[in-house]
Amino acid sequence: MKKWRLLPQMAVQGIIANGMVYYPYLLAAVFSTFTYFVFSSILHNDVMMTLPHAVYAQIMMMIGRSLLWCILISFLLYAGSFISKRRKKEIGLYNLLGLEKKHIGIMLLIENVILYVVVMAGGIILGTVLSRLFFLLLLKMSRLPVNVEFMFTWDAFRETLLAFVVIFFMQFAFQIYEMGKARPTQLLTGGKKGEKEPRLLIVWTLVGAAVLGYGYLAAITSKMDDMIFINFFLAVFLVIAGTYFLFTSGSIFFLKCFRKQKKFYYRARNFVTVSGMYYRMKKNAAGLVNICIFSTMVLITFICTLSVSLGLEDAAKYQYPYDVTVNFTQDAPALNAASEELKRLQTEHHVEIERMDTYDYIGLECSIAQSSFGLTGSGEPGVKDCRATILTQEAYHALTGEAEELSEQEVIIHTRGADFGYTTLDFMGVRKDVKKESEELFPYPKARENEIGNDYILIVRDETVIEELVSTWAEQNGVEDIDAFLNSGSRRIGLVLQGEKEAEIRFVEAFMTWSEKQDGFRSDRNGMDSRDSLYSMYGGLLFIGMIFGLIFFLCLLIIMYYKQVSEGYEDQSSFHIMKKVGMSEEEIKSTIRRQIFLVFGLPFASALAHTFAGMFMVKRLLGAIDLFNGRLITGCAGAVCAVFLVVYCVSYAATARTYYRIVNR
């Protein structure tokens, strides 16, 4: 009976006595709970369903919360397994002193319940206090109205409790399994159990190099196509696998090579460093892999987040350059009345028209292979579907202010992607000479990095040439009524406005309402509304990127801390022996600095290499959301890496002090 009464007290004392490993774990778990609770609170807040465009941000938050939970499970179980290993000797001693395994199991259950209560209380209280702040931050990033109320939701409270019950139960089950299969003597020595050298070192080293190389190749040679996201995850998997093999087998292989170099190895500081790393390298390598991968994740996440944050405006205007666009038939009577209506709306809503373009165009669905335009849907290698927009030189002059004199055999070509690069073109059998390629043509912004850019704008002399090209296209596509199709061109009115946001919105809505009632109306597009939808979706991505970056960074710090703490305890006896055999304090410090520098330097150098290779794919992924500013992305990468290097060095210095303090006890 006394044993049962002692168990709660022993559980509390066990947490306090092992505060060096429990307190960082509690801090990480509280932050994890807080983050999950914030995501759930935002998702269950009714106001998210009432705001315009908020559905995009809500979808991003749903995806983000699912990914977040998967990351938190693996991270907290990793941290819990470290704590369990540190407690093995203590639990083995309890067993030898008379506590049965069922008593120890109940003690561990009480410990987990205490930890769960503390974590839930801290995380949910912190989340309740700061949820409104993070909700407003999400609205600000998504450019949604911020003058809304945020209410506490019991659904988020229940979901958070349930999600972390699962994590703590899994951790408790792992502890019971480890304790149940081990004997007391094994528990007493479990924390210091050595690691076996991996077999087939050369084979696995070569496999790791090949897998990592293929992952780099997949990232560098990736294309901006429908497979970009699948290729991204494939490259990530290959890089992680290759890193694991190289650190676990390749590192030991190279250490063995260093041991064979007697002039290098049989020096005091080299001998201690190499031998110390060699005999624990399998365990060290697993930690080094985690540090390397999480460092890479932190770098990539913050590079993408910063790039999208700074380039969001350009990406939105690349897709929707006009604030409002209205298309009429070329002979619509409303075209004459549009100018008067726009003047009236300007006066009524106090909005200036910064740019107004009125021009005729006709759009044709085609395919292109090198310099030849053909029918769509061929599916042949090297042939891609595209859209050819044909303008007259008069329309080109109206858009650019440049006066060009073209003959019937000449065209000016403008692409929204890579340069056309040919001096002639073949439009379904009609050959034309390319007089020049246009570098700028509003409202068709150009981005050479756009690998899927499939818009080609052809500027020709006049309507006669347009009729020639369109008739050829219609015949090739089997259009029977060619005369009717020739009259299918549109006259576009595109506006860029300047004024108060609310006034601009009212102006656009009023003009679209007027246009839709006119004879000859074809279509319209609210560019402001479309850009707001993008801002909402990308703002949700930015919020998730910021939170995930912080989570990855926290995981990285905890892994680095636990790694050095565990190795510090294991190295205590070794360094005490070194003192007894005559090594000075300064020599021991020098050995510690070299070992920690290697342990921290290798993952960081590898993370930089991974990031460099990954930047090729990152640029293409950002291109999928029409962010093509390569100079901006490169600048963001340099800034993030520089800041991360500073933080990493500070963490290195703090960890080295902790490690030395432990081994010097």
Residues 48 and 536: their CA atoms lie apart, in Å, by: 11
Q: Please, which pLDDT band fits residue 185 given cuts at 50, 70 and 90? A: low
Dig out the tokens for 6 from the structure.
Answer: 């002692």
pLDDT digits (tens, 9 = 90+) for 271-315: 666 666 666 665 566 677 878 888 898 899 899 889 988 888 888
pLDDT of residue 155: 84
The whole-number average pLDDT for the span 463-485 is 82
Asked if residue 8 has a cis previous peptide bond (ω within 30° of 0), the answer is no
Residues 326 and 493: their CA atoms lie apart, in Å, by: 5
Is the pLDDT score of 86 beyond 60? yes
Task: Collect all residues with Cβ–Cβ distance below 8 Å to 408 and sequence separation of at least 6.
Answer: 461, 464, 465
- Report the range out of 67-71, 170-174, 220-224 with the highest average pLDDT: 170-174
pLDDT of residue 434: 93
- Bridge partners (DSSP) of residue 328 are 491, 521
User: Would you tell me how many other CB atoms lie within 10 Å of the CB of residue 414?
Assistant: 23
Is the pLDDT score of 395 beyond 70? yes
- Which position has the higher pLDDT, 71 or 192? 71
**Residue 205 phi, psi (nearest 5):** -65, -45
Dig out the tokens for 601 from the structure.
Answer: 């330097």
Residues 447 and 445: their CA atoms lie apart, in Å, by: 7
Residues 179 and 105: their CA atoms lie apart, in Å, by: 8
**Which run of H or of E encompasses 424?**
strand 424-427
Q: DSSP string spanning 16-77?
A: HHTHHHHHHHHHHHHHHHHHHHHHHHHHT-GGGGTSTTHHHHHHHHHHHHHHHHHHHHHHHH
Name the residue with tokens 């963001």: 636
The whole-number average pLDDT for the span 327-356 is 88
Dig out the tokens for 178 from the structure.
Answer: 């480890």
Dig out the tokens for 222 from the structure.
Answer: 């990736």
- Going by C-alpha positions, the residue among 576, 602, 594 that lies closest to residue 656 is 594
Residues 644 and 401: their CA atoms lie apart, in Å, by: 47
Longest dimension (CA), the chain: 105
pLDDT of residue 278: 64
The whole-number average pLDDT for the span 539-558 is 81
pLDDT of residue 351: 92
User: Would you tell me how many other CB atoms lie within 10 Å of the CB of residue 72?
Assistant: 22
- Which position has the higher pLDDT, 65 or 187? 65
The DSSP output letter for 447 is -
The whole-number average pLDDT for the span 422-442 is 91
**Which run of H or of E encompasses 622?**
helix 585-623
Residues 258 and 252: their CA atoms lie apart, in Å, by: 10
pLDDT of residue 636: 93
Least confident among 368-377, 426-435, 549-558, 592-601? 592-601
pLDDT above 70 coverage of the chain, percent: 80
Is the pLDDT score of 97 beyond 70? no
Residues 613 and 137: their CA atoms lie apart, in Å, by: 32
Task: Collect all residues with Cβ–Cβ distance below 8 Å to 663 and sequence separation of at least 6.
Answer: 568, 571, 572, 574, 575, 588, 592
- Bridge partners (DSSP) of residue 455 are 387
CA angle 481, 482, 485 (to 5 degrees): 95
Q: Please, which pLDDT band fits residue 426 given cuts at 50, 70 and 90? A: very high
CA distance readout (Å), 511 to 43, 329, 338, 504, 522: 36, 17, 9, 11, 14
Rg, Å, the chain Cα set:
33
pLDDT of residue 39: 80
- Which position has the higher pLDDT, 346 or 55? 346
Residues 3 and 543: their CA atoms lie apart, in Å, by: 50
pLDDT of residue 412: 93
User: Would you tell me how many other CB atoms lie within 10 Å of the CB of residue 632?
Assistant: 16
The whole-number average pLDDT for the span 51-77 is 72
**Which run of H or of E encompasses 356?**
strand 352-369
Q: Are 51 and 148 in contact (CB under 8 A)?
A: yes
Is the pLDDT score of 261 beyond 60? yes
Dig out the tokens for 393 from the structure.
Answer: 């030189």
Beta strands 430-437 and 521-526 are: unpaired
The DSSP output letter for 480 is S
pLDDT of residue 84: 77
Is the pLDDT score of 364 beyond 60? yes
Q: Please, which pLDDT band fits residue 477 given cuts at 50, 70 and 90? A: confident
CA distance readout (Å), 173 to 70, 110, 120, 168: 18, 13, 19, 9
Dig out the tokens for 296 from the structure.
Answer: 């890479």
pLDDT of residue 612: 92
Cβ-based burial of 361 (10 A; exposed 0-12, middle 13-18, buried ≥19):
middle
Q: DSSP string spanning 242-290?
A: HHHHIIIIIHHHHHHHHHH-HHHHSSHHHHHHHHHHHTTHHHHHHHHHH
Is the pLDDT score of 141 beyond 60? yes
The whole-number average pLDDT for the span 568-573 is 68
Is the pLDDT score of 254 beyond 60? yes
pLDDT above 90 coverage of the chain, percent: 19
Dig out the tokens for 557 from the structure.
Answer: 């710090």
The whole-number average pLDDT for the span 110-122 is 90
User: Would you tell me how many other CB atoms lie within 10 Å of the CB of residue 498?
Assistant: 11
Is the pLDDT score of 577 beyond 70? no
Is the pLDDT score of 41 beyond 70? yes
- Going by C-alpha positions, the residue among 461, 298, 341 that lies closest to residue 390 is 461
pLDDT of residue 413: 94
pLDDT of residue 187: 56
Is the pLDDT score of 201 beyond 80? no
The whole-number average pLDDT for the span 102-121 is 86
**Which run of H or of E encompasses 389?**
strand 384-392
The whole-number average pLDDT for the span 221-248 is 81
Cα of first residue to Cα of last residue in the chain, in angstroms, is 39
**Which run of H or of E encompasses 129?**
helix 101-141
- Going by C-alpha positions, the residue among 396, 409, 376, 555 that lies closest to residue 477 is 376
- Which position has the higher pLDDT, 441 or 55? 441
Q: Are 134 and 542 in contact (CB under 8 A)?
A: no
User: Would you tell me how many other CB atoms lie within 10 Å of the CB of residue 388?
Assistant: 22
Q: Are 259 and 271 in contact (CB under 8 A)?
A: no
- Going by C-alpha positions, the residue among 19, 6, 193 that lies closest to residue 104 is 6
Report pTM: 0.79
